[in-house]
Amino acid sequence: MKEYHGTVKRSFHITGMTCATCSRMVERSLGKVEGVKFAAVNLATETAFVILEKDIPQEILEDAVRSAGYSVSYEAPEDLEIKRYREARNNLLLSWGITLPLMILMFFHMTGRHIPYFLLMEFLGGIAVIFGSGRGSIKGAWIALSHAHANMDVLVVLGSIAAWFTSIIALLDVPVASFGAIGSMIIALHITGRFIESWLRDRASKEIKSLVKIQAREARVIDQAGEEILVPIEAMKNDLVVIIRPGERIPVDGEVISGKAAVDESMISGESIPVEKNEGDEVIGGSLNLTGLLQVKVTKVGEDTFLSLMISLIQEAQGAKIPIQAFADRVTNYFVPAVFLLALASGSFWYFGIGKFFFFLDRAGELLPWVTTVRDPLSIGVFAFVTTIVIACPCALGLATPMALITGTGAASRKGMIIRNAEAIQTARDVQVVVIDKTGTITEGNPMVVEHDLEGRDLAVVASMERNSNHPLARAISTVSQEEITYSSLEEIAGEGVKAWIEGIEYFVGRPLDPSRYASQHSMGRTVVELRKDGELAGYLAIEDPIREDATDAVARLKEMGIMPVMATGDNDITARAIALRAGIERVYSQVRPEEKLNIVRHFQSENSKVLMVGDGMNDAAALKGADIGFAIGSGTDLAIDSADVVIVKGGVSKIADAIQISRKTFSIIGQNLFWAFAYNVIVIPLAMAALLHPVLAEGAMTLSSISVVLNSMRIRNS
């Protein structure tokens, strides 16, 4: 459970869902609970995500799920996956163990070699397969029908039972062709499709699983007696000291208090190069200690750790919906009843009008070998009804958007981004303007002295004075020398610099008397600080906030994508334009206040442009919230991160281009999935109604359509 600005967010696992209608039923039930502000249920991840206006007991939410006919599980995802896999495998083996012999016997039976007791075998085999292996589908169908809904299970069960029922009629010596084996085959193919579909879905969501797997179970803690004890990760508290040996995963977020090591953060950041960690550096739980012994003081535990936050945010994005999905949901809501009516119409048409259309089936049979040769009105009517029901299962439609969304958010996480708002996936593809903050975004946000002309003692004096200054550039200057110089007093003059007296000499470090003297330094975007002794110039230091390595290439990529980069910074005009020139940005707004950054965003939006804002500071929060999409640098302030739709965990502005590319690819795949899901039904339903498809081909086509949607979605992984 997480709390943000007075609202509570929760995610939990739902069991028993099989199609888009199932997830919609749970979503609707949760949405009716008083205090639930928003509810989204994702079929692909089988998770519910709710935003609560107040802290509601979990039991109330569980009751809402149960009232829809489904269950909540708190088992570990790995345990659930193993249990589901075993059950699916057993059902698969049972169904095909019975169906394959029936199919072989049916082939001989159809060629005129009548097998003794074949009708009885069809009947008994159907009982074992439909009501044994297919009991999960029957349960799903019953849940839907008992709530006055129809889902994919309803179609499958209806089709298989209708086909199986013909074997009962045939056993009673009614002159009807028996399709009993087809009923078993429908269930067997359906179970096979579900098994493959589930396996592909698990593969597609492996990014989130890989994050979960790197969470440590235990930590080696130093107790009060100085001895090492193993403590479960759930029992960890802030300020405990843990030891991490080479080759071990770091179990918690913390600060290195002793030791030095190279740490592999690739599973979290995507960066393959190990990071050197020394005393005072922060480490992230889940990263791998490669070389040295570290003692780490715990600073964050449980849901507050970086890794837990990352997992939570990715799950939220994967569990949410995007606008285009609402269209698909509306279609599937009416699709199943419409198909049932079409199947009834088709069956009735052939039952009452078969004699007039023999010529059509005869001609079609010359071209299509699977066209039925049965000419009995009841048989052909049942045949058309069953085929239409089976062919139209809308699983592909239900999976089209969530599968692409899972894969897209996973691809973003591998590149070092967390998509907090799923709608950003759809919006980012239309971005035309990117407004970028300078400090900490285009630049590293870590100023350093890049040039000076001071002698050794003067350099030590300057560093010693700046160690006690509150100026933002003081830290950069204080590192130029480690030597300590004693001074009698120190005075900080706001907006000017610092003054100290050493051995009777007045030292001043700060704003130059004549800035024009350093025009060449300013033209490169550097800040110059002078040292004066008793009022006389003694030297200078040039300070620069280095441009991020990826900034220039990122700006070039944005331009290639037809997007205009804009810099908006509170820095002075000379420095801003110098940095912008080096990065390749032509349009620059300098010396802007926080509210003016929001006005810049609004200005471009008023020109009908979709605007993406990226920043890292508190002064960027309003613009991040006001933009169509907000990107926050992960090293920035909590307010900036909370205001953003996407958080860049590792790297710089190059991730913006990556995100837009992933967005365009994801939305393109969603469009393809929906198009082919609709096109498939538009083509095959009329063929099924015309009795030109066999139920076996219908079930196979339905299964392949679902698998094709999953496979197509997995192409996003290569973005």
Residue linked to tokens 């995100």:
659
3-state secondary structure (DSSP) of residue 446: coil
Q: How far apart are CA 123 and CA 139, in angstroms?
A: 21
Gap between the Cα atoms of 675 and 680, Å rounded: 8
| H or E segment and range at residue 220 | strand 218-222
Q: d(Cα 252, Cα 382) in Å, to the nearest integer?
A: 63
Q: Report the largest interatomic distance among the alpha carbons of the chain, rounded to a whole angstrom.
A: 121
CA separation for the pair 462, 454 (Å, rounded): 9
Rounded-to-integer distance, Cα 387 and Cα 368, Å:
16
CA 284, CA 59: separation in Å to the nearest integer?
34
β-pairing, 629-633 with 610-615?
parallel
Distance in angstroms (rounded) separating the CA atoms of residues 719 and 699: 33
Question: Which structure tokens are listed for 637?
Answer: 């302030």
Neighbours of 117 (CB within 10 A): 10
DSSP character string of 241-279 = EEEE-TTPBP-SEEEEEEE-EEEE-HHHH---S-EEE-T
Decide if 261 contacts 292 (C-beta within 8 A).
Answer: yes
At 226, give phi and psi (nearest 5°): 85, 10
E strand or H helix that includes residue 501: strand 497-502
Are 489 and 465 in contact, with CB atoms under 8 Å apart? no
Q: Tell me if 620 sits within 8 A of 430, measured CB to CB.
A: no
**Is residue 489 a contact partner of residue 501, using CB atoms and an 8 Å limit?**
yes
Please name the residues in contact with 374: beta carbons below 8 A apart, sequence gap of 6 or more. 177, 380, 383
Alpha-carbon distance of 412 to 425, in angstroms, equals 10
First-to-last alpha carbon distance for the chain, in angstroms, is 32
CA 254/CA 179 separation, integer angstroms:
66
Q: Is residue 171 a contact partner of residue 120, using CB atoms and an 8 Å limit?
A: yes
Q: Rounded to whole angstroms, how far apart are CA atoms 267 and 271?
A: 8
CB atoms near residue 536 (< 10 Å): 7
> In whole angstroms, what is the distance from residue 239 CA to residue 227 CA?
16
Per-residue buried b or exposed e for 463-483, using 16+ beta carbons within 10 Å of the residue's own CB:
bbbbeebebebbebbbebbee
Which residues are known catalytic residues? 437
Q: State the DSSP code for 444.
A: -
For the record, the structure tokens of 305 come out as 């750790």
* CA pair distance 53, 90, nearest whole angstrom: 44
3-class secondary structure, 209: helix
Cα–Cα distance for residue pair 224/244, rounded to 1 Å? 18
Q: Characterize the bridge pairing of strands 228-232 and 241-244.
A: unpaired
Strand ranges (E), 76-160: none
**Token output for 190:** 């359906």
Tell me the Cα Rg of the chain. 33
Sheet holding 218-222, edge to edge: 228-232, 218-222, 241-244, 294-300, 253-259, 282-283
Upper half-sphere CA count for residue 105 (Cβ side, 13 Å): 21
